[in-house]
Amino acid sequence: MVIVMEAGSSPGQIAYIKEKLQKAGCQAHVSYGTSRIIIGVIGEDTRRKLEDMAIKAIPGVEKIFSILKPYKLASREFMPEDTLVQVGNVVVGGKEVQVIAGPCAIESEGQALKTAFAVKKSGATLFRGGAFKPRTSPYSFQGLGEEALKIMAKVREETGLQIVTEVMDTDTLPLVAEYADVLQIGTRNMQNYQLLKKLGEYRKPVLLKRGSSASVEEWLLAAEYILTGGNYQVILCERGIRTFANNTRYTLDLSVVPLIKSLTHLPIMVDPSHSTGKWQLVPPMSNAAIAAGADGIIVEVHPNPEEALSDGAQSLTLENFNSMMQNLRAVAGAVGRA
Amino acid sequence: MVIVMEAGSSPGQIAYIKEKLQKAGCQAHVSYGTSRIIIGVIGEDTRRKLEDMAIKAIPGVEKIFSILKPYKLASREFMPEDTLVQVGNVVVGGKEVQVIAGPCAIESEGQALKTAFAVKKSGATLFRGGAFKPRTSPYSFQGLGEEALKIMAKVREETGLQIVTEVMDTDTLPLVAEYADVLQIGTRNMQNYQLLKKLGEYRKPVLLKRGSSASVEEWLLAAEYILTGGNYQVILCERGIRTFANNTRYTLDLSVVPLIKSLTHLPIMVDPSHSTGKWQLVPPMSNAAIAAGADGIIVEVHPNPEEALSDGAQSLTLENFNSMMQNLRAVAGAVGRA
Amino acid sequence: MVIVMEAGSSPGQIAYIKEKLQKAGCQAHVSYGTSRIIIGVIGEDTRRKLEDMAIKAIPGVEKIFSILKPYKLASREFMPEDTLVQVGNVVVGGKEVQVIAGPCAIESEGQALKTAFAVKKSGATLFRGGAFKPRTSPYSFQGLGEEALKIMAKVREETGLQIVTEVMDTDTLPLVAEYADVLQIGTRNMQNYQLLKKLGEYRKPVLLKRGSSASVEEWLLAAEYILTGGNYQVILCERGIRTFANNTRYTLDLSVVPLIKSLTHLPIMVDPSHSTGKWQLVPPMSNAAIAAGADGIIVEVHPNPEEALSDGAQSLTLENFNSMMQNLRAVAGAVGRA
Amino acid sequence: MVIVMEAGSSPGQIAYIKEKLQKAGCQAHVSYGTSRIIIGVIGEDTRRKLEDMAIKAIPGVEKIFSILKPYKLASREFMPEDTLVQVGNVVVGGKEVQVIAGPCAIESEGQALKTAFAVKKSGATLFRGGAFKPRTSPYSFQGLGEEALKIMAKVREETGLQIVTEVMDTDTLPLVAEYADVLQIGTRNMQNYQLLKKLGEYRKPVLLKRGSSASVEEWLLAAEYILTGGNYQVILCERGIRTFANNTRYTLDLSVVPLIKSLTHLPIMVDPSHSTGKWQLVPPMSNAAIAAGADGIIVEVHPNPEEALSDGAQSLTLENFNSMMQNLRAVAGAVGRA
């Protein structure tokens, strides 16, 4: 159930209602929009409880309605305004399109810094890099771990770019969270509920990639696991789905971008690198993502893709990234973004 | 095998080689590019035959090479320059992005004319309409048939817009070809080889939609069936593939757009109406298609979608189409198209 | 709508009702079951028309009900008893499991006869062979055409095995129908509606393969196209669907076997050769098909698979087919079949 | 690389080689077959190291070869004999087909005991029950947790049936491992590498379900994560994949059963309940699984499916399970199993 408060309702009124709800065994999630305040109520039998408590009669309450979708806090009905996720000075979900760029895996300080300075100059606003890598084979390079996190901290210090990196499990979550500005959940972990629940306890933005065979509903329910924990800073990320079409690594499902915008208030980004698996397709698909309404992209860039320890085939060179960025801003402008 | 002729080679030289090839039991396909002439040689054992005939020694022959891809005439190797398909004054595959618009099915002269005048005013350059409709159920409306073709002829007369309509089988092909300017092959017929072979005998542009479970290779081989007949005016059209993702009617596989551009010289358009099945998604996905590099889009427009005899849910109103077009031109400009 | 006639209703009563229905612009399909006669009524507004004509009051009419499924004649509601398809002495859909075997393509009389005698001895009850082959590439072997049909006629004469062969288009349908005992519709033509409609005019059994991306509903609606023409002898055939799983050529969707049995009265067979694409998997998947309840299988057998002109990798040798058959009968017995 | 030891090689020789390998930075995995002993060598540059150490010259070494597949310890090349997984008195992978049965979720002691006694009587050899449930929605019943584990311990005590239950994360792994006889990894966790690595440290059988969009190679590489830890008791379980086919919950990919048997020595079971999502399809698909060569099935059984807290639609009643089992044994017999 959702309780909408009148424009001028006071903090005291909010607090009073929250208290009543908690006593009745309900969870209360408060969202502060520009024109009104919304209280999401989660729990069993919430409709009856709200009636029993006569919540509607409490001063400041404008209306009460139920959300029929299986996801509640993630739904547009719960929050009609777009969620803006703040990462340092960068706002994801606003007018400006954000570009997260960097190597698949952090390989050395030199590689990381060189890439970071270059992508920043080209217009990237956030830096990505893998420290703990989920690899299909136990014999593949698994990432530099904490060393990579330290390198990224140095990158942030030197370039001012905030850091996006993947967290793979609950064991390394505290360590990763010490360093990262945005905690990325990879496609294989989209339904790792234990991890999602733990992320709900943090107050750091989460970049939640879509599972490669997840429906939109399953994806938003995964976000719901984080939101119910009280962490409302979730960025969705489409990264391709598994289909019969083997001409690209995955099939980039761009139609979900406008669909997601209608179903949820959460921002959505697109990963054209992992989805296509081919660097040549990254610039046109980045343009397409922004034209479809995405709030940004996350792309793999490497100073020397042929020598990359992972995913070289899908990494842009620094030069290719730079020329892509020129075009991307023009497309952003054409659809009313910056 | 492909024979590349020197810049100044004469018609006589071409004719001489063609004759030799035919005598040896090979098919010869000649393409006139702006800077050179290319002869595609199809047949069994062509490599050996070309060697036996010492084709390389004939004056005017610059080089000979084999095409390793299963499709030959459709491949970029065969023809490095983009194929431009001419439909009246409209060129598909050039700088200008083309927009085919119209109702799913022609329902009446009034409906067709009203739609045609409106979409033309908004910037559509070709008119589409269904006369013979392939319907999943034998009990669904199957189209007005010849009556619809006559209505479309009138639309062309009155608006000057050339006509795109689907041909469903070899029986009705001669009739449809009498009226249509572009013969559309629907997704269910992409591997109807008898029909493809017959289309190869025509000298009319063909819009070849991708089968909903066709790989890129199968799609280009379907085009090859038409090309080997001598009809080189083939436009490809991505219209969504069958995947597990049930949030849209099909999954629009936009990544094939730049991929197709690298594999073939044929132009490619995108159908955002059938792929998404939701009119709200058509404008953003049209933008995305153009941003990805498509040569145009084909969209369903109906004066009154709620009363449409088929596919109402995915049809734009005249107003929505008009506002979409404003934005589309801006996106086209941003990626260097018009 | 479906009209169920009382057990002892007379031919005159049936004829009277048929006449009334036709006058009212409805199609009438009569099915003679062992205990009752059913009249399927297809057309617009049938419910109202039946009421207007007071059909329920006509002597012999037991009850009238509507079929809510999109397919009518194909549905179990329309005909609760299993349809038995008679091919010569062979009954498909009865207690006995039927095995259609033979080479992918007829290559010569010798190859065909050798295969036919061998598979018959091993227990095959019908012979399959390709005359007109739908090939993905225009450069692949397209079948021997009429010559192959003549060879198969000879096979029938010499072995007594009835012939199953694919018909690819309406142009060659009359020719193929002259020779074949069962007309096979391949996966690419499942939604070739013109062809399906023409098949409805024949009185020969049709083996309707599932489209590789067809839902069960689309498949049954394709059958409905044939049934509405008055040809009730349709055998369904599951032959694998397109999925991400690339370990086999297609993914054999065996769960549709019991599902189909609950939705329709038509018999269903399974093709383990095309679906898996690997001869090693054919025996276990044949066993699985029968265990799941299929009415039979259709398998590719070749005296010398390595030299086959098509699909060698999925063809069983005569020896492998023979040893497979021993096991298959045991499995049939275990699930109450013969 | 794989080192094959001569039939009569001594424990001392094995130990000597192991020591040498470990000093060289390689992992050594020893498998004791009935006729020979095999040492799998994992690490970087193993081919060169084995040559440098002249392993081939050590007494007892019969031959050395490399495994080209990405998975090593899981491959048939590494271990030609079938792995037999021992769970109490029950052997998975041998001649006898094993049946794991029980409710989706443990709801009460009464429900668990009633089900367990009934399924045992009908021929089930292992008991399954959910304690920690991975649920798509955070608002769904999440399982009784430790209470359910205690109930299952009681079930084991009273019925003698060993217990199979899912472990969802590394946090609850020690607790679950205290109670469970087989640790089940669900489809969502197939690529939860941290969890897989931890399982490698245990010496308990693991039932590894296939990810719903996992290729066979990814699945075997997930098994490899467990095997490299030294836990060789892995049972694979096919449970349906995500495809466009929405007529069943997932598409049961039965063809992987014989395929898996050729690629790996690990046993494979099939879950017809989750894959089909419909209890009516469970008996025929169980028959099909066994006929295809599966080593067993895992099915959901509930005394009162309509009141089940989860997955009621796919649960068999006790009566239906019993009648299914009669048929299953006949099918097992028909394919040479017991």
A241: nearest Cα among A267, A279, A215: A215
| In the block, residue with structure tokens 């020591």 | D19
Query: Across the interface, do C136 and B228 touch by the CB < 8 Å criterion?
Result: no
State yes or no: pLDDT of C274 exceeds 80: yes
pLDDT digits (tens, 9 = 90+) for D226-256: 999 899 999 999 999 999 999 999 999 999 9
| CB-CB contact of D106 with D112 (8 Å) | yes
Per-residue pLDDT tens for C138-168? 888 889 999 999 999 999 999 999 999 999 9
How much is the mean pLDDT over chain A?
94
**What torsion do the CA atoms of B328, B331, B333, B337 make, to the nearest 10 degrees?**
-80
Rg (CA), chain A: 21
Residues in A closer than 8 angstroms to C248, CB to CB, are: none
Which residue is closest to D289 within chain C, CA to CA?
C288
Q: Which residues contact A292 (CB under 8 A, 6 or more apart)?
A: A254, A255, A257, A258, A270, B284, B285, B287, B288, B291
Residue of B nearest to C187 (CA): B191
Q: Is the CB of A192 less than 8 angstroms away from the CB of D171? A: no
Q: Do B248 and A258 touch (CB under 8 A)?
A: no
Which of B224, B151, B136, B233 has its CA nearest to residue B186? B136
Give the best residue of B241, B244, B249, B251 to mutate against chain D (max D CB count within 10 A): B244
Residue C67: predicted pLDDT:
85
ipTM confidence score? 0.92
Residue D37 sits at φ, ψ, to 5 deg, of -115, 135
Per-residue pLDDT of B41-64, as tens digits, reads 888 888 888 888 888 889 889 889
Q: Which pLDDT value is given to residue B266?
A: 98
Q: Which of C317, C290, C233, C303 is nearest to C267 (CA)?
A: C233
Q: Which of A259-268, B180-189, C174-183, D60-69 has the lowest mean pLDDT?
A: D60-69
Asked whether residue D47 carries a pLDDT value surpassing 90, the answer given is no
| B126-171 per-position pLDDT tens digit | 999 999 998 888 888 889 999 999 999 999 999 999 999 999 999 9
CB contact under 8 A, C70 and B137: yes
**Is residue A14 a contact partner of residue A39, using CB atoms and an 8 Å limit?**
yes
For chain C, first and last CA: distance in Å?
36
pLDDT the model gives residue C309: 82
How big is chain B, counted in residues?
A: 338
- B259 contacts A247? CB cut-off 8 A: yes
d(CA D261, CA D257): 6
**What is the bridge-based pairing of β-strands D90-92 and D85-87?**
antiparallel
CB B195 within 8 A of CB B189: yes
C280-324 per-position pLDDT tens digit: 999 999 999 999 999 999 999 999 998 888 778 899 999 999 999
**Predicted local confidence at residue B310, as pLDDT:** 79
Task: Give the distance from residue D250's alpha carbon to the nearest chain C alpha carbon, in angstroms.
Answer: 10
Query: C246 at the D interface (CB within 8 A)?
Result: yes
Confidence of residue B213 (pLDDT cuts 50, 70, 90): very high
**Residue A110 pLDDT > 80:** yes
* A66 — pLDDT class (breaks 50, 70, 90): confident
Does the pLDDT value for residue B105 go beyond 90? Answer: yes
Q: Return the sign of the alpha-carbon dihedral for residues A34, A39, A42, A46.
A: negative
Q: Contact at 8 Å (CB) between B285 and B252?
A: yes
* C39 contacts C5 by C-beta, under 8 angstroms: yes
Residue A194 has φ and ψ, to the nearest 5°, of -60, -45
What does the alpha-carbon distance between residue A2 and residue A76 come to, in Å, rounded to a whole number? 12
Contact criterion met (CB below 8 Å) for C285 and D254: yes
- Torsion sign over Cα C297, C303, C308, C312: positive
- Residues 6 or more apart whose CB falls under 8 angstroms from that of C297 comprise C97, C99, C100, C269, C270, C271, C272, C286, C289, C290, C328
Looking at residue B323, its pLDDT comes to 96
> Any bridge partners for residue B9, and if so which?
none
Q: Distance between CA atoms of D150 and D176, rounded to whole angstroms?
A: 10
Residue C179, amino acid: Y
Q: What is the DSSP letter of A136?
A: S
Task: From residue B53, give the alpha-carbon distance in Å to each of B20, B21, B22, C185.
Answer: 8, 9, 12, 44
C243 vs D241, D276, D284: nearest CB = D241
SS3 B240: coil
In this predicted structure, the answer to whether residue A7 has a pLDDT above a threshold of 80 is no
pLDDT for res B35: 72
- Can you say whether residue B311 is alpha, beta or left, with left for phi > 0 and alpha for psi between -120 and 50 degrees? left
- Mean pLDDT of the region C232-252: 97
Q: What is the pLDDT of residues A135-183, one digit of tens each?
A: 898 888 889 999 999 999 999 999 999 999 999 999 999 999 999 999 9
Angle at the Cα of C141 (from C139 to C147), degrees rounded to 5? 140
- Phi first, then psi: give them for residue A68, nearest 5 degrees: -85, -20
Q: What is the DSSP letter of B209?
A: E
The type of residue at C160 is G
pLDDT tier at D68 (50, 70, 90 boundaries)?
A: confident
Instruction: Count CA atoms closer than 13 A to C55's CA, side-chain side.
Output: 29
In order of A189, A190, D180, the CA distances from D141 in angstroms are 21, 19, 21
Phi/psi at D332 (5° precision): -55, -45
Question: Is the minimum CB–CB distance between A136 and chain D shorter than 8 Å?
Answer: yes
Taking the alpha carbons at both ends of chain A, their separation in whole angstroms is: 36
Q: What integer best gives the mean pLDDT of chain C?
A: 94
How far CA C186 is from CA of B320, C208, C271, C285, in Å, comes to: 41, 7, 11, 20
Map tokens 């790996």 to a residue.
D264
Give the integer Cα–Cα distance in Å for A157 and A149: 12
- A246 at C interface, C-beta within 8 A: yes
Is the dihedral angle over the CA atoms D77, D81, D87, D92 positive or is it negative?
Answer: positive
Tell me the shortest Cα–Cα distance from C51 to chain A, in angstroms.
40
Which of A258, A281, A291 is closest, CB to CB, to B291? A291
Residue with tokens 């019943």: D141
- What token pair was written down for A330? 């023009």
Alpha-carbon Rg for chain D, nearest whole angstrom, is 21
Residues linked to residue D61 through DSSP beta bridges, in sequence order: D5
The CA distance from C25 to D212, in Å, is 50
User: Cα separations (Å) of D296 from D210, D255, D273?
Assistant: 15, 15, 13
3-state class (DSSP) for residue A181: coil
Local confidence band at D291 (pLDDT 50, 70, 90 cut-offs): very high
User: What mean pLDDT do residues B230-241 have?
Assistant: 97
Q: Of the candidates C245, C280, C331, which has its C-beta nearest D291's C-beta?
A: C331
Question: Is A115 in a helix, a strand, or coil?
Answer: helix
Mean pLDDT of chain D: 94
Burial of C274 (0-12, 13-18, 19+ CB in 10 A): buried
Hey, which residues 1-20 in chain A have their CB within 8 Å of chain B?
Answer: none
Higher-confidence residue of C4 and C218: namely: C218
pLDDT at A2: 87
Q: How far is D241 from chain B (nearest CA, A)?
A: 10
The DSSP code for C196 is: H
CB of D29 closer than 8 Å to CB of D42:
yes
